[in-house]
Chain A
Amino acid sequence: MRLDIILRVLAKLLIPFALVFGLYVQFHGDFGPGGGFQAGVIVAAAVIFYALIYGLPAARRVVPTELVQNLMAVGVLLYAGVGVVSIMLGGNFLDYFVLGADPVSGQHRGIFWVEIGVLITVASVMLKIFYVFAGRRRDAEETAE
């Protein structure tokens, strides 16, 4: 019987809330403090918490390293993609005004996608850094074998 049952149960309880709180911070960025960067850190922290309690291999099964690396690129592409779309719609780079029927909805739409790009990249970069540091000795041993 493992002795860390309290930690395991609590982690299971807390992680969903942490993720939801991350999304709240993400989408509340329009009206109050928040935004993609903070939300990305919270989402990454939830996964890191999972890795601390259940071990690195378990975390890597849930969020594989390859996925993390691809997501890093997805976020940047999403951000820059918004800029490219606004050029194609006849505005300047990252010109949100042309993205919607009226300027306000255009601004909403633009910042929405850009912030999601930020969330994805920040969360995956944090995770990548964590994986690299946490897996240092483990990965070195695996390649040695």
Chain B
Amino acid sequence: MLTQHFPALLVVVPLLAAPLIVFVRRSLPSWLIALLATTITFGIAASLLAQTMSGGTISYAMGSWEAPLGIEYRIDVAGAFVAVIVAAMGLIVMPYSRVGIATEVRSEEHYLYYALMMLCLAGLLGILVTGDAFNLFVFLEVSSLATYVLIAMGRDRRALVAAYQYLLMGTIGATLYVIGVGLLYLETGTLNLADMATRLVEVGDSRGVLAALAFITVGISLKIALFPLHLWLPNAYAYAPSPVSAFLAATATKVSIYVLMRYFFTIFGATEVFDARATGAILLGLSLAAMFVPAVVAIFQHDMKRLLAYSSVSQIGYITLGISLDSVEGLMASAMHLFNHALTKGGLFLVLGGVVLRCGGAGFDRLAGLGQTMPVAAFAMVVGGLSLIGVPGTAGFISKWYLVSAAMHEGQWWLVGAVLASSLLAVIYVWRFVEVAYFRAPPADHPAPGEAPLSMFIPALAMIAGCVYFGIDATWSSEVAMRVAEVLMYNPGVGQ
């Protein structure tokens, strides 16, 4: 009975939790409300994935106004897959947050942190579930605005500058997106994504559609942090409170990648985007640049958070590389890496959050000798690092394997070399951490830390364990990723 409302409730539950938290004000009850809301949200997302896996697309008419006139919520395997990633990340970060923000966010602002996390969650899930181009823009802004404030909550004064930088770049991205949507509305007369896809076929090749494609691609690429539009990302991740870094690294860019996939494959259609123009070549070039340049920059960082942030930009390159191949195999590799990288990078940031709590910073001078002072955390970081590199037995290996075989399937043998070379760069930046943690003496003023508190340690280790688990048994993730790729590739018109 309630199941039919799940597409709406997915957004409404966290959206209702946010004002409730503002009412309660006190830290502990706010946390409990947030925890309850994330648990329910995750349940809904998981149920939606199960439903879409077995039954196909689910459509929900907001306010009972039928599409295309009314706003339609429409979710298929692709959306539900990313929704599960986002909701699961919320569920993991929430228990972690109680201790995780204690030292990083001022205590009178704790309730604001929880309220904003709920808004961010609602926004991200809204992007995934909505079937309306303008509604998508609204949710993009809901999540982004919440994100800007969450980043600014970092105790480092530079967090304010980082948030402001992201605010400028993010607003430009959202503006470009909405201009693109405006042009599409002009050409097709509809904002419903499924309706737009069918009408675009009738409109055919026009300058307006081309301009819309350009605006939307660049706008969303800004939110993805696709090289060279990534400049906001390293500072944002580095100075945000640790749970926020982990949550954003695992979700925000991934949701934007989903939007790009949707527009490329479902709305404009692969023929329009890839066959008729050089989009594939451009995206391929940018992906390659993303795989190499930020990876080199990461090698020269002196702060673990910044290193991981640059590594994120580099890893995004793998995901867009899969998209640029314009094949089911490529898309599947992208979907796999979307999941595996969320797992890896989310886990790494969570472990690092515990380290920052104990060592008082993520600079390499603070992390020296971590192998002695926090052996388990240091080992977890190394395992996560191996997954970033793509060592067999970790999740990163599986997605790179699929990526390489997708490239070979297309006959692009040289891409295999590129992926390998880029992985070697990852070896170097992960080695930087190993060297600092295991081959240097702890700083003299080190506050003899011990491992992080259990409430932070368990979620972090669970994610790192997930990296290993999904590296050994990828049955579930590859099956879902395959379905996602098929839905995106063969179902123009949003899975009709």
A76 CB–B CB distance under 8 Å:
yes
Across the interface, do A77 and B19 meet the contact criterion of CB distance under 8 Å? yes
Quick check: A83 and B64 within 8 Å, CB to CB?
no
Chain A residues with Cβ below 8 Å from B23 are 70, 73
Please tell me if B465 contacts chain A, counting CB pairs below 8 Å.
Answer: no
The answer on a CB contact under 8 Å between B19 and A76 is yes
Among B12, B16, B19, the residue within 8 A (CB) of A74 is B19
The closest CB in chain A to the CB of B16 belongs to: A80
Interface presence of B20 (CB below 8 A): yes
Could you name 14 residue pairs across A and B whose Cβ atoms are closer than 8 Å? A70-B22, A73-B19, A73-B20, A77-B16, A80-B15, A83-B12, A84-B16, A87-B5, A87-B8, A92-B5, A92-B60, A93-B8, A93-B9, A94-B63
> In this complex, what residue of A is CB-closest to B2?
A87
The yes or no answer to B58 lying at the interface (CB within 8 A) is: no
Q: Among A72, A84, A92, find the residue whose CB has the most chain B CB atoms closer than 10 A.
A: A92
Map CB proximity to A onto B52-67 as digits: 1 under 8 Å, 0 otherwise. 0000000011111000
In Å, the complex CA distance between A47 and B463 comes to: 50
- Is the pair B20, A92 in contact by a Cβ cutoff of 8 Å? no
Closest to A76 in B: B19
Cα(A70)–Cα(B61), bound, Å: 31
Please indicate the chain B residues that have their CB under 8 angstroms from the CB of A95 in the complex: 63-64
Looking at chain B's contact residues, is the secondary structure mostly helix, strand, loop, or mixed? helix
Q: Is the CB of B15 within 8 A of A96?
A: no
User: Which A residues are in CB contact (< 8 Å) with B12?
Assistant: 80, 83-84, 93
Residues of B within 8 A of A77 (CB): 16, 19-20
- Which residues of B lie under 8 Å from residue A50 when comparing CB positions? none
Q: Which residue of B lies closest to A80 (CB)?
A: B16
In the assembled complex, the Cα of A93 lies from the Cα of B15 at a distance in Å of: 13
User: Is the CB of B18 closer than 8 A to any CB of chain A?
Assistant: yes
Using an 8 Å CB-CB cutoff, how does the interface string of B129-144 with A read, 1 for contact, 0 for none?
A: 0000000000000000
Q: Is the CB of A92 within 8 A of B62?
A: yes
- On whether A92 and B16 interact (CB within 8 A), knowing A70-B22, A87-B5, the answer reads no
Tell me whether A92 and B8 are in contact in the complex, defined as CB-CB below 8 angstroms, given that A73-B23, A97-B64 are known contacts.
Answer: yes
Which residues from A are CB-within-8-Å of B15?
Answer: 76, 80
* Residue A69 at the chain B interface, CB threshold 8 Å: yes
**Whole-angstrom CA separation of A95 from B12 in the bound complex:** 14
Q: How far is the CA of A83 from the CA of B71 in the complex (A)?
A: 14
Chain B residues whose C-beta falls within 8 Å of the C-beta of A84 in the assembled complex: 12, 16
B20 touches A93 (CB 8 A): no
Task: Return chain A residues, CB-CB under 8 Å to B60.
Answer: 92-93
CA–CA, A54 to B217, complex, Å?
Answer: 51
Determine the chain A residues whose CB is within 8 A of the CB of B20 once the complex forms: 73, 77
In the assembled complex, which residues on chain A have CB atoms less than 8 Å from the CB atom of B16?
Answer: 77, 80, 84
Query: Is A91 on the interface with B (CB-CB < 8 A)?
Result: yes
What is the bound-complex CA distance between A97 and B61, given in angstroms? 13
B475 to chain A, nearest CB (A): 36
Q: Please, which residues of chain A bring their CB within 8 A of the CB of B18?
A: 73, 76
Q: A73 to chain B: which residues have CB within 8 Å?
A: 18-20, 22-23
**0/1 string, B318-359, CB within 8 A of A gives 1:** 000000000000000000000000000000000000000000
